[in-house]
Chains A and B, each alone.
Chain A
Amino acid sequence: MKDLVRLKTSLKEEVEHILNEQVKLEALSSSRYLAMAAWCDRNGFDNSANFFYEQAEEERTHMLKFFKYIADMGGRAVSPEVTNIKLEFDSFREIFELALEHEVQVSQAIHRIVDACRKHQDYTTENFLQWFLTEQMEEEYIARRALELFDVIGEEGVGRFMIDQQVTKINYEKPA
């Protein structure tokens, strides 16, 4: 009897499911960053707003990478539903705290997919994930450095203005 499932898709059901969960998480990230960008815009933090608009776009690109990969492998890519996005924040600092927490959440989620790939001996998907593992190093670095600006510069006086100036200058130099 032909193995129709394998002929149709090279993804195991469990791996396909967890990849679709990641599509959803990336879409959620994009929407969260968009909400942060809008808050920064409303409160006069122009540079931070641009920073988060760019982050939102980047997360959407990540989502599409996962989405396309599932489809290319013969799987069923599910367009995600994103709801309950936090629109209001207590402070400028809180936004960066949440951004870092979220990046950590994304890194952990990718590690879980790698675990699943190894469990199911899906080395192709594991190889595909290498790019995201490297990308998360950068994402976490930038989010951590941005939050550290609050301690380095301080929020008093023109502090928040200075932080807003510095946010877009954070640069991660990838290891050679």
Chain B
Amino acid sequence: MTQFEEIFSTTHGSMHQCSHTYRYQLHFKGLVYTFKVNDFQQLKRALDRVDVAAMLHNPDNSCDLEIITPPQSDRCYVLTLCDIIHLKELLAGTKVMLSLNSILKEKLYTAFA
């Protein structure tokens, strides 16, 4: 049974988790991308490597877009500067919520073990 719970959302997208299949699901720009736990870090790193400041300062048209290919996916995201900022915000928020969940789990386990 696949049941996704929301981890974090912004006005531009959301991230969900399925505890049965051990998958995350990203909803962004009308696309739904389901991926494994360890691919989250890789996706976040790929996005973190995008230098927003350099894109802003470069007048070349080719620097207005960035193509991100999510791990183990046959699709790619063609992202504008705004998309990148929104997706970075979404992934950063997700990471914080995952860390918070991890801390809560550990504390609860310690308290009731």
Interface residues of A (CB under 8 A from B): 1-9, 13, 74, 76
Contacts and interface: CB of A to CB of B under 8 A. Distances in A.
Interface stretch (B37-45, B49-57, B61-69): B37-45
Contacts of A7: 22, 37
Contact of B22 (A4, A9, A13, A76): A4
A9 B36 CA distance: 12
A7 B41 CA distance: 15
B37 A3 contact: no
A3 B38 contact: no
B102 A5 contact: yes
What secondary structure prevails in chain B residues at the interface with A?
helix
Contacts of B10: none
Contacts of A8: 22, 37-38
A1 B38 contact: no
Given A2-B17, A3-B98, 19 more contacts: A1-B5, A1-B7, A1-B17, A1-B101, A2-B22, A3-B101, A3-B102, A3-B105, A4-B17, A4-B19, A4-B37, A4-B98, A5-B37, A5-B40, A5-B102, A7-B37, A74-B38, A76-B41, A76-B42
A1 B19 contact: yes
A2 B109 CA distance: 12
Given A1-B17, A4-B22, A9 B105 contact: no
30 contacts: A1-B5, A1-B7, A1-B17, A1-B19, A2-B19, A2-B22, A3-B98, A3-B102, A3-B105, A4-B17, A4-B19, A4-B22, A4-B24, A4-B98, A5-B37, A5-B40, A5-B98, A5-B102, A6-B102, A6-B105, A7-B22, A7-B37, A8-B22, A8-B37, A8-B38, A9-B38, A74-B38, A76-B38, A76-B41, A76-B42
Contacts of B7: 1
Nearest to B23: A4
Contacts of B102: 3, 5-6
A3 B102 CA distance: 6
Contacts of A6: 102, 105
A2 B108 CA distance: 12
Nearest to B41: A13
Contacts of B19: 1-2, 4
